[in-house]
Structure 1
Amino acid sequence: MRIIFHGENAASFSAGFADLVGPQADIRILPDVLDVGADERAYADADVIIGTKFGASLPVPSRLKLFHVPGAGYDAVDLGLLPASASVCNCFGHEQAIAEYVMSALLARSIPLADADRRLRRGDWAYWAGSPERVHGEIAGKTIGLLGFGHIGKAIARRAKAFEMNVHVANRSAVPTSDLVDRAFTLDRLDAFWGSADSIIVSVPLTEETKGIVGAAAFAAMKPGAVVVNVGRGPTIDETALFEALKAGRIGGAIIDTWYQYPGPDQAEILPSKQPFHELSNVLMTPHMSGWTSGTIRRRQQTMADNIKRCFSGSSLENVVRARMS
């Protein structure tokens, strides 16, 4: 069983992987760029490839049985070029981490622990209980709006309900109201959705339909104090419209984890947008870190190992993106 971890991202899941798959696993870690003949041959001879991309520049793995993406997104995998003999699967397991990120970010805006600590170290009792001028906020009773109700949206909803929040959902397919969902909208009713919540959490995947789905009209319809959180894909929010809304104070703020520009081989350090978000005080910027936790790695390792064992035993696979065609 020849298993290849291709690239830095995939290699993050390699430690201890043999213990999950079994002694029959022959595991090799290859770099992102295959510029050595031995690496190219190893890739071409693989039974299983764990990687985030596949295209014409890579060797054709003619014996491949399973191509497994170590995450949810597979937009960099050209499914049409992969051998028909291979099944293609992805994995999730990041929703717990992202939901914790969202809740901690919202809590931090209401409960100023860091500022209270900083002030008290100077003898400043700015948040001392007992006076209306010193109160801070809470998220109980607030309304959270979830744009997208997949793995991430559902995980956020469960945690929001534990904090006694109201949950509104906007989703492509209809979502019934339930113990988790107080009010639901379809995507043709977004005008009403934008203004219904105190915070808008964007977790939809990037498609032609969702590109720029949060734009100038959305910001104009939101509450003046609304907070926008993007843990989906950067371009689902219109870059210029977001910057202008924040700069003009049309919304209360933003917490952005997924961006418009990313580091590459030729530029390791780069600002995440052409717009100067870093100059604004009402935006919290993080480097696409919300789902990257030890728990995410552990859960995804288990999913991939289980699928590899299923593949070689002839059992049905989970999270199939493209079934084997021959």
Structure 2
Amino acid sequence: MLKVHLNYETGPEHWADLQSRLAPGIRLSSGECRPANGFDILVSGEPTLEELEGNGRLRAVIVPWVGVPLATLDRMKEFPSIALHNLPYNIGPTAEMAVALLLAAAKRIVPYDQRLRRGYWSGEHTGVPGSVMLDGGLAVILGYGRIGRRVAAACRGLGMRIAGVRRNPGTSDEEYALADLSGLLPQAAALIVCLPHTHQTDRLIGSRELERLPSNAVLVNVARGGIVNEEALYRTLQARRIYAAGIDVWYRYPSATERKQGLPHPPSSFPFHTLDNVVMSPHRAGWSEEKEPARIAELANMLNAAARGEPMPYRVDPRQGY
């Protein structure tokens, strides 16, 4: 019997869907209803010390989304005998959001939409071009894994050239090492951030990197806010040193109570909302009607593999962060 405990909320219809997909030898529990003699697999984004220490049979933790929190990475380093996995069920939607933000920022969709709703057919007289052309430009994709490659495919369709930056580049002419990033930035029409947030990538993009971007460049972040220095990004956009940005990931998040009550919560210590050259999205790249069914289906595949005695996919090295 494989015992699996879920520590994240899912609706009753999705719970039933998960159970219907699992092999007969898998027993599920959730929330505070924990098995008395422990469980083999824990599905949780932030496992507690008590859960990891007090369960001798625990052999794996599955984070039920793509990016593993830094605190979880640090905690799991202390438990090398417990395998860590993520659940990349939303690769496609995240790549779609990256491209949507890229186009919305490059074409200034939001300001022109707001102007036309008031009857104005032209933009504000700021001296800023109404859009920048991406065709023929270089898309520097920082993080060239599953999401980054999806984004690259879309950018190729727009006529862009690709520079995929990753820790261990392959032999393709489109792949570059992180050491090459500084030389690529002055050529970039777009810098699209898709890489995991680790201690090594925290604030990887700061003032120095932003200053190397051309004035007509667009920055997109669908990874984690902490990879791009908060103040440096705000000051760069405020001074219009780059053309625009599209941001889905932020620096300050509402508490569970604030979310439940629908209370306002600014996403940054800086007033990004006052800038007309940033498209703001509330960390919703993975949101869609199909989100939870997709997560459940992928989770079921992983658990069924474990029940068959096979290795589960999507193993994460806590020391590397991915």
User: With structure 2 as the length reference, what TM-score do the two structures score?
Assistant: 0.81
Whether 1:63 aligns to 2:47 is no
Counterpart for residue 16 of structure 1: 17
Q: 2:285 aligns with which of 268, 281, 290?
A: 290
Aligned residues: 304
Q: 1:218 aligns with which of 190, 209, 213?
A: 209
Residue identity matched to 2:135: A
Deviates more, 1:200-209 or 1:291-300: 291-300
Deviates more, 1:240-249 or 1:141-150: 141-150
| Contact preservation (8 Å) 2:67, 2:197 | no
Alignment of 1:271-290 (within 5 A): 271-290=266-285
Question: Once the 2 structures are TM-superposed, how far is the Cα of residue 322 of structure 1 from its aligned partner?
Answer: 6.4
Q: 1:47 aligns with which of 25, 40, 47?
A: 40
Whether 1:204 aligns to 2:225 is no
Question: Once the 2 structures are TM-superposed, how far is the Cα of residue 13 of structure 1 from its aligned partner?
Answer: 6.1
Deviates more, 1:207-216 or 1:258-267: 258-267
| Contact preservation (8 Å) 1:64, 1:83 | no
Deviates more, 1:64-73 or 1:282-291: 64-73
Counterpart for residue 131 of structure 1: none
Alignment of 1:127-276 (within 5 A): 139-178=134-173, 181=174, 184-265=175-256, 268=259, 269-276=264-271
Percent of aligned pairs with the same residue?
Answer: 27
Q: 2:97 aligns with which of 96, 101, 104?
A: 101
Please give the root-mean-square deviation of Cα atoms over the aligned residues, in Å. Answer: 3.2
| Contact preservation (8 Å) 2:108, 2:130 | no
Counterpart for residue 27 of structure 2: 26
Counterpart for residue 126 of structure 2: none
Could you say which structure has the larger radius of gyration? Answer: 1
Alignment of 1:105-116 (within 5 A): 105-111=101-107
Residue identity matched to 1:316: P
Residue identity matched to 1:70: P
| Contact preservation (8 Å) 2:134, 2:160 | yes
3-state DSSP of counterpart to 2:35: helix
**1:11-70 Cα distance to aligned partner (Å, 9 max, x none):** 99645111211344433331xxx5xxxx3x438622332111113244723333432221
Alignment of 1:77-96 (within 5 A): 77=72, 78-80=75-77, 84=81, 86-96=82-92
Question: Once the 2 structures are TM-superposed, how far is the Cα of residue 279 of structure 1 from its aligned partner?
Answer: 1.8
Question: Once the 2 structures are TM-superposed, how far is the Cα of residue 265 of structure 1 from its aligned partner?
Answer: 4.4
